[in-house]
Structures are given as structure tokens and as C-alpha cells.
Structure 1
């Protein structure tokens, strides 16, 4: 993958989240927090669907991508999703953040061993949720994202 040099290029956030309320909260969070680059949120309701959508986005060369991933999901959990992403040459440099209710130290350690960009706890506290949204927005505005390359 090659780095993008245009900070104004739209960013696709693939939200891999099985809970409808949490998915609405994340989508709302990105709408509320202003930033330099446009962000489109695309949702997958389980890890298997998320992996298929990520492969399609990379195949379509959809531009810069970031994944927000829940750990506890049906069909393919977050750890299994991460293993599949990191094992695939076309996907391995995808930026992934964990956004989950799990505070289990084993989940945290396993996520960082899979090279996540960050492990963020979900919260019902609106102020804490706003901080997470601000952090993700600032990250999206500040970094150069790897650009998808053709799937071989």
C-alpha cells in the first residue's frame, strides 16, 4: 500500500458492530465532531460481513480506510477478524481501532499484538463518548492513511 498525500480525500470508516444502538451512536459521533476531511461510515453487522466489506472496499480502491471493530460479535469475533486482516497482504496495513465494552486485559493485549491503532472502551457517558469521537476525528485529520492496493 502507498500512503495518501491528500488530507482532503474522503475517509471511509468501516464500523464492524452488531449492536444497532452503538452503531447509531458512532455514526452520530462522526456527524457531530467537525473535521477537515469528509468521513463516510459504512457498517457491517458481524465480523464475517466486515471482512467481506473490507475486501470489497480494498478491491474497489475506495481510498483511505479505517476500521472501528467490536470484539464480541457473531460469526467472526473481533480477534478472528483481526487475524484474517493481518494475514492478508492486501489488508494487513489497514488501520484498525477496537471500540468495545470489553476491558478484559487479555482482549487488550491480543488486540495490540494484532497491531491495532488503539483500544477504545465504549461508554454510556456522553462526555467520555465525545472524547472518543474527538480523538478519532483528530486522528483521521492528522495521519496519512495507507491507500488500498489491488487484491492479488
Structure 2
């Protein structure tokens, strides 16, 4: 694999954002741009859609597998906790790092996500500067320092 090549052979890593709130989607897009995040962003708006995308169901065959997933917990149609469990129980998907990005600071939510094998649990910053800093940290660690797995 080339240094700037993702596990799917594309020149930019694919980052999947699973978020139903359009304002949060726009905020994430802006902070990723501000952080000069060289990525291809794929957005899923609910729990059912993300699973169809990851499993390349009809209509999603061309959706690239992400190198990293940012997952909101409170999603329509299928809760983020359920989505996390399904991803981590699927032998073809379980290697994809999943970072839970939620407004919840509940220790029950944090523990539940780690029990379901989340790779990290992050609380969504409310300030754009803090969110941009978080995006830089994700970029630097997950796409700079960490060795990401190849898809199964």
C-alpha cells in the first residue's frame, strides 16, 4: 500500500460519517475542511442506511468501504449502539475502526459502546474551534500514526 493510499486502493482514505442531524453533518464537513483532512467523506443518515452501505446492498454496490467510521448513537431506524454491535459481529466489517461521536457523557453509554468493541468514544464538542481540533487529532492519529487494517 502506498503511503497516501487507503485500504480500498483509493488515493484518499474514506471516512464514513453516520449522522442524522443535518446541522451536525454540515459542521463536521466544515471542521474536516478546516483541518485539511485529505479524505473522501461518505455520509449515512440512519442506522439502516449505514448497514446497507457497508454490506454493499442493492443501490450501494459502489459505496467504498471506509477506513474509519464516525458513528452517532442516536440514529433513526436503527440505533447507533445496534449498528456498532452489527459491525463488530460481522467478520467482513469488524476490522473497521469505529469512533463513537456523541453528545452523551453517560457512563452507561460509554461502557455499552466499549463493551460492543468501539475503538473510541468521543464527546461531540459544541464549539467549532474545539471540533476542528478534534478533527485534527483524529486525522493525525488515525490517518497518520495508526496502522489501519485491510478489509477482511
Q: TM-score range by the shorter chain?
A: 0.7 to 0.9
For the residues of structure 1 that align with 2:146 and 2:3, how far apart are their CA atoms?
8
User: Aligned-pair distance for 1:60?
Assistant: 5.9
The Cα of 1:127 is off from its aligned counterpart by 2.5
Question: Which residue pairs with 1:143 in the alignment?
Answer: 146
Gaps of 5+ in 2: 6-11
- State TM-score, norm by structure 2: 0.84
Greater strand content: 1
CA RMSD of aligned residues (A): 2.1
The alpha carbon displacement at 1:7 in A equals: 2.8
Superposition deviation, residue 138 in structure 1: 0.6
Q: Deviations over 1:71-128 (max 9, x none)?
A: 0111111110011111111011111001111111111011112222211111221222
CA distance in 1, matches of 2:63, 2:43: 18
Secondary structure of 1:56's aligned partner: coil
- CA gap of 1:64–1:23, structure 2 versus 1, over 3 A, is closer
Contact 1:11–1:63 (Cα < 8 Å) also in 2: no
CA distance in 2, matches of 1:61, 1:93: 17
After TM superposition, give the deviation of residue 63 of structure 1 in Å: 6.1
User: Contact (CA 8 Å) 2:100, 2:120: kept in 1 or not?
Assistant: yes
Note the residue ranges of structure 1 that are not aligned, 5 or more in a row: none
Tell me how far apart the structure 2 counterparts of residues 115 and 41 of structure 1 sit (CA, whole Å).
23
Larger RCO, structures 1/2 (Cα 8 Å, 6+ apart): 1
Q: Is contact 2:14-2:42 (8 Å) kept? A: yes
Q: Is the 2:53–2:63 contact (alpha carbons within 8 Å) kept by the matching residues of 1?
A: no
What is the number of equivalent residue pairs in this alignment?
Answer: 143
- Distance of 1:103 and 1:80 partners within structure 2: 18
1:116-149 deviation per Cα after TM superposition (whole angstroms, max 9, x unaligned): 2211111221222122111111122222211223
Secondary structure at the aligned position of 2:48 is classed as helix
| Secondary structure, counterpart of 2:134 in structure 1 | helix
